[in-house]
Chains A and B, each alone.
Chain A
């Protein structure tokens, strides 16, 4: 009989350590914790359940094969998985090769996405911040994030200057950051 697992970053690290010993139970636990985040991100990017399932499979299998890739990342496993998944899904959407190895993806000061309750609260906050952004800023950020458009593609599409698009995107990310620092 297994004990109920505590949430939080140290628990995630313990599970990743388990992966290194080939502990399949740890993999199942990590899947149960984070599959909904990974799937939701993949589905939003790709808009296709079959393709999203494939990305879900790839992301977790990659973690199984290379659990040490996460060591380099300060910050939470959930956030790291979200970044990896989104990159992988965009690469699939845009039919291009990945530019960065997963062990080079390092995050800091990222929220703990382990618990459903924490995720729901954080999601509310993010949607709130997006809602207060100027529409042009919000759409530039979303085009870059969910559609993987480059800044020049966004500039072409919106008719805005290149420099403006770049600045808007950065400012949008900083707005999100500040909402979680307060």
Chain B
């Protein structure tokens, strides 16, 4: 970095967002052509994050959490984000234009150029509005589908729901589990019934057995008083193909590898 000493100090200011105007434009122009300085800027930004740690303080109030999650639930995805971006892009920048006299001052050629530009913006605006309308109706459709899915999921996942396992009248209820796995979304729901209670400090652990490689931890769970349990969307590596799922007993903090014996196992239907 020694050949860029003249930029070294400026990069630190840039990382602190303290470089503005012409100074910033000068550094921007240099960064566009210099990978070494871009890397140094990234490292300096990381260093500034360390300063953030020196801020100790009270936790945010509980109401802030509710406020955020309510807003997140209201916003959903898609059209809202699109509409916000669209409106911002189309809004004319501040500080331009003046009083009624400036058309004449500009001269006819320049005025014509401005008019053409404004017309093209207007056309773009209309096209964007149409995109927005279709995106809005898609979002409404998605919301309906989501509500439908929620209705289906509720009795399955709600802890208040009554769970009944039907077995052949000749057999006693056995521990059983069902795993629902969407590989391309790394999304997993696991439901278990008739699981025996465990000694204290022990728990069941679910494992995803990949086609190749070691079993992957997929959630730790304890059964309720009725022997039911569920695991919903544990953190999983992306898009792993599952050969099978299995359950073992582990310490309640979970384990990185299964402890024998395997209690339950199942391959795809």
A residues with a Cβ closer than 8 A to B are 1-6, 10-11, 14-15, 17-18, 21-25, 27-28, 31-32, 35-37, 39-41, 43-44, 49, 52-53, 56-57, 60-61, 64-66, 74-75, 78-80, 82-83, 85-87, 90, 99-100, 105-111, 113, 119, 122-123, 126-127, 130, 141, 144-145, 148-151, 163, 166-167, 169-170, 173-174, 176-177, 180
The answer to whether A39 and B60 have CB atoms under 8 Å apart is yes
* Chain B residues whose C-beta falls within 8 Å of the C-beta of A82 in the assembled complex: 49, 52-53
A118 (CB) vs chain B CBs: closest residue: B53
Contact of A148 among B17, B222, B230 (CB under 8 A): B17
- CB 8 Å contact bits of B34-77 with A (1 = contact, 0 = none): 00000100111111111111111111110011011101110111
* Chain B residues near A (Cβ < 8 Å): 8-13, 15-20, 24, 39, 42-61, 64-65, 67-69, 71-73, 75-77, 80-81, 84, 185-187, 217-222, 229-238, 253-254
The 10 closest A-B pairs by CB, nearest first: A170-B12, A79-B49, A82-B52, A110-B46, A3-B219, A166-B9, A39-B60, A44-B55, A40-B57, A173-B47
Indicate whether A64 sits within 8 Å of B75 (C-beta atoms), given known contacts A43-B57, A86-B52, A108-B39. yes
Residues of chain B contacted by A108 (CB below 8 angstroms)? 39, 42-43, 45-46
In the docked arrangement, what's the CA distance between A50 and B84, Å?
Answer: 24
Determine if B24 and A170 form an interchain contact, defined as CB atoms under 8 angstroms apart.
Answer: no
Contact A4 B220 (CB under 8 A): yes
The answer to whether B43 touches A127 (Cβ under 8 A) is no
Do residues B56 and A24 form an inter-chain contact, with CB atoms below 8 A?
Answer: no
- Within 8 Å CB of B237, what residues of A? 10, 14
Q: Is the CB of B231 within 8 A of A57?
A: no
- Complex Cα distance, B7 from A167, in Å, reads 11
- Whether A173 and B20, one on each chain, are in contact in the complex, defined by CB atoms closer than 8 angstroms, is no
Residues of B contacting A32 with CB < 8 Å?
A: 65
**Minimum C-beta distance from A143 to chain B (A):** 10
CB-nearest residue of chain B relative to A28? B69
Q: Report the nearest B residue to A127, measured CB to CB.
A: B54
Decide: A44 near B57, CB < 8 A? Known: A14-B236, A86-B52, A126-B50: yes
- Chain A residues lying within 8 Å of B43, measured Cβ to Cβ, are 108-109, 177
* Docked-complex contact B54 and A107, CB < 8 angstroms: no
A-B contact count (CB 8 A): 211
Residue contact A107 to B45, C-beta cutoff 8 Å = yes
Query: Which residue of chain A has its CB nearest to the CB of B38?
Result: A106
22 contacts across the A-B interface (CB closer than 8 A): A1-B221, A3-B235, A5-B235, A24-B72, A25-B232, A37-B52, A40-B52, A40-B55, A43-B55, A53-B64, A56-B60, A57-B67, A99-B24, A106-B45, A111-B49, A119-B53, A126-B54, A144-B18, A170-B13, A170-B44, A174-B47, A177-B47
Report yes or no: B57 in contact with A39, Cβ–Cβ below 8 A: yes
- Cβ–Cβ < 8 Å partners of A100 in chain B: 17
Shortest beta-carbon distance, A91 to chain B, in Å?
Answer: 8
B72 engages A176 (CB within 8 Å)? no
Cα of A149 to Cα of B16 in the assembled complex, Å: 10
Contact indicator A35/B20 (Cβ below 8 Å): no
CB-CB nearest in chain A for B157: A1
- Whether B71 contacts A141 by the Cβ 8 Å rule is no
